[in-house]
A and B are shown apart, each in its own frame.
Chain A
Amino acid sequence: MKRIAHIGAIKVVCVDLTIILLSSLIGVSLNKSFVRGRQQTTFAFERSNGKPVFRPITASDHKSYPVFGGIELAELKKVMQSREMVLLDGRSQPDYESGHLPGAYHLAVADFEKALPLFSSQFAKDTRFVIYCRGGDCSLSRRLAELLYDKGYVQVRIYWGGYNDWFLGGNPVEKGKGRSFLSVWSN
């Protein structure tokens, strides 16, 4: 009787393992480039019925603001290497601390006014910025771009893929306090 129970249990485990293995094989073989982190994501900042949809900002959406230019992952990497633009993370402090793009400064939309004096003392108005947030349906980067535009920082581009696109692409991230405009940091 005990032996039959053992055989039954082994059979159950075998079926489970087969399902997991089969699922892995199908999933990975259908999404090879995605699993390797080589797939360029095509998503943008909006969703329609739960599906990511690329819809560039139009003038009618933001009458008082220009259409902020976007930047793709490949170009962003080049820009980061040459350090010709400053990276700004617009997410919340816990999000920034749990992982951000290497060298990115933290300027949370929620704390913009508080952080502005220190920010203004560090960057001239003609500084070129790349802003990102979580990615996908995150609207923080657009909001931060608008806030900066209001203060005279007009050379702003947005990395729509955001942190998710960067991280899922297998690119290195930095953790911890980093360079936050609400905490004391030195360059």
Chain B
Amino acid sequence: MVKLAERLSRLPFLFLFRFILGLVFLYASLGKVLDPQTFAENLLAYRIFSSALVVRYLAVTLPWIEWFCGIFLILGLFVRSVSILASGLLLAFGVAMSSAMIRGLEINCGCFTNAHEVVSSFTLLRDSLFLVMSLVVLFSRVDSFTLQNFIARKKQRSDVLE
């Protein structure tokens, strides 16, 4: 298992997965950060939350969590922690979308920048794909093109020189 993770870490697709996920999260967060009211309406449409305060709180907090996930994934900082958060978010979105589909709700999914996109098997499949990518990033060794590895290597070199 460790060997497999080590081999995977050398492959460029890990960097690609991390970078694509980062861009997706960053793009998804921007519209919601600017317009929390619409995002709150989208959350409300799922009919999962009974408290308005919870909806309002989630509507202003979730976009910023997505924003941090996006930035850190692109830069390659705290990759393990951020991929756990990203996987959790994608799993929660997937469960919410499945529940809406089972209940026959035709609602705006609220996936990207508040654009109109009805919850469908396509949006669920796309979410699952991102979840798989996020889990691969989580369970593989951190790829070599990250800022955190660059910092670690620099520190190692300066330690050796001293």
Complex: how many Å from CA A28 to CA B33? 11
Report A46 CB to chain B, min CB distance, Å. 12
Which of chain A's residues have a CB closer than 8 A to the CB of B63? 27
Which of chain B's residues have a CB closer than 8 A to the CB of A11? 81
Which of chain B's residues have a CB closer than 8 A to the CB of A136? 38, 41
Number of A positions contacting B (CB below 8 A): 34
Is the pair A50, B115 in contact by a Cβ cutoff of 8 Å? yes
Contact count band on B: 35 or more
Is the pair A50, B113 in contact by a Cβ cutoff of 8 Å? yes
Within 8 A of B (CB), among A20-41: 20, 22-24, 26-28, 30-31, 34-35, 37, 39, 41
Complex: how many Å from CA A118 to CA B80? 62
Least CB separation from A95: chain B residue: B47
Complex: how many Å from CA A134 to CA B61? 23
Is the pair A20, B65 in contact by a Cβ cutoff of 8 Å? yes
Complex: how many Å from CA A24 to CA B35? 16
Least CB separation from A15: chain B residue: B81
Complex: how many Å from CA A12 to CA B31? 28
Which of chain A's residues have a CB closer than 8 A to the CB of B44? 164, 167-168
Q: Is A3 an interface residue (CB 8 A)?
A: no
Is the pair A41, B37 in contact by a Cβ cutoff of 8 Å? yes
Report B132 CB to chain A, min CB distance, Å. 20
**B2-10, B48-56, B118-126, B154-162 - interface stretch:** B48-56
Q: Is A147 an interface residue (CB 8 A)?
A: no
Q: Is A66 an interface residue (CB 8 A)?
A: no
Q: Can you show 17 pairs from A to B with CB atoms below 8 A apart?
A: A15-B82, A19-B81, A20-B61, A23-B67, A24-B64, A27-B60, A28-B60, A30-B60, A35-B60, A37-B53, A39-B37, A50-B113, A51-B35, A51-B114, A135-B41, A136-B38, A169-B52
Given A15-B81, A34-B59, list of 4 further CB < 8 A pairs?
A12-B84, A23-B64, A34-B60, A43-B37
Binding site for A on B (CB under 8 A): 31, 35-38, 40-41, 44-45, 47, 52-53, 55-57, 59-65, 67-69, 72, 78, 80-82, 84-85, 113-116
Binding site for B on A (CB under 8 A): 11-13, 15-16, 19-20, 22-24, 26-28, 30-31, 34-35, 37, 39, 41, 43, 47, 50-52, 98, 134-136, 164, 167-170
